[in-house]
Amino acid sequence: MGKTRVKAKVSFHEQIASDIYSMRLQVGAMASEAVPGQFVAVYCKDGSRLLPRPISICEINEAKGELRLVYRVVGDGTEEFSKLHAGALVTVMGPLGNGYDLLDKKAILIAGGIGIPPMLELAKQLAVPKTIVLGYRDELFLNEDFEKYGEVVIASEDGKHGTKGNVLDAIAESQVTGEAIYSCGPLPMLRAVKQYGMEHDMVTQISMEEKMACGIGACLSCVCESTEVDAHSHVHNKRVCKDGPVFYAQEVTL
């Protein structure tokens, strides 16, 4: 079946932290197609905002035909979404992108900020011993949702929660070990995680972010620099929306 574009009904919507919202959408069969690490494109109703907003999938409920999206309000589009009440309809296209390869190796999930949500479904589906390392600026969100899936280690910039500092500080302090890294978060964090993975000889997958238009690999807006020649354009630009958003760290130049 692949990708579809549907009018989804909002079944539940709540604010879970400052500027962070959790929305459950009834998307029908789209939920059966989705895998951890993929995203959906959510369209605004306001016609002045043309482009869909790419939002990562936080949880997949195949039985209910439901996706959970946890997103941060960063502009007018996400502001519009945050006003949707239960029962409202919203147009969604997905699932988009590739998702993580689930490897049979002891895992460390490393996520920062709004990179945290997609790790929840991954934590759920990844049936190996794992440690989940979550980095926050100050306020916590979703951390309790992760607890049933593995050991949770927290870092916060202000030190109010867990280790004071970043995710790598928390890994060092808690002496977290593993063989495979799954990561999503801001670019400086991904750079540090890639470096850490190389130094410790760990298989590292990272999820990239870039401004997108079509969301399906046609417009070539959301490329990232790749180490090898890419299959689409035969240059060094992989498409974040189609070839990613998840890449093995050595595939991309950060």
Which residues of the chain form contacts with other proteins (CB under 8 A)?
2-3, 5, 43, 47-52, 93, 210-224, 232-237, 242
For the bound state, the minimum distance from the C-beta of residue 219 to other proteins, rounded and expressed in Å, comes to: 6
For the bound state, the minimum distance from the C-beta of residue 50 to other proteins, rounded and expressed in Å, comes to: 5
From first CA to last CA, the distance across the chain in angstroms is: 34
For the bound state, the minimum distance from the C-beta of residue 86 to other proteins, rounded and expressed in Å, comes to: 25
Cα separation, 51 vs 77, in Å, equals 9
For the bound state, the minimum distance from the C-beta of residue 225 to other proteins, rounded and expressed in Å, comes to: 9
* Residue nearer to other proteins on the CB measure, 4 or 174: 4
For the bound state, the minimum distance from the C-beta of residue 120 to other proteins, rounded and expressed in Å, comes to: 28
* Residue nearer to other proteins on the CB measure, 89 or 220: 220
* Residue nearer to other proteins on the CB measure, 121 or 209: 209
Cα separation, 59 vs 118, in Å, equals 7
Annotate 195-232 with b (16+ C-beta within 10 A) or e (fewer): ebbeeeebbbbbbbbeebebbbeeeeebbbebeeebee
* Residue nearer to other proteins on the CB measure, 58 or 92: 92
Cα separation, 230 vs 251, in Å, equals 10
Q: Which two tokens stand for residue 214?
A: 């079509």
Instruction: Find out whether 226 and 236 touch, Cβ atoms under 8 Å.
Output: yes
Instruction: Find out whether 156 and 164 touch, Cβ atoms under 8 Å.
Output: yes
* Residue nearer to other proteins on the CB measure, 153 or 214: 214
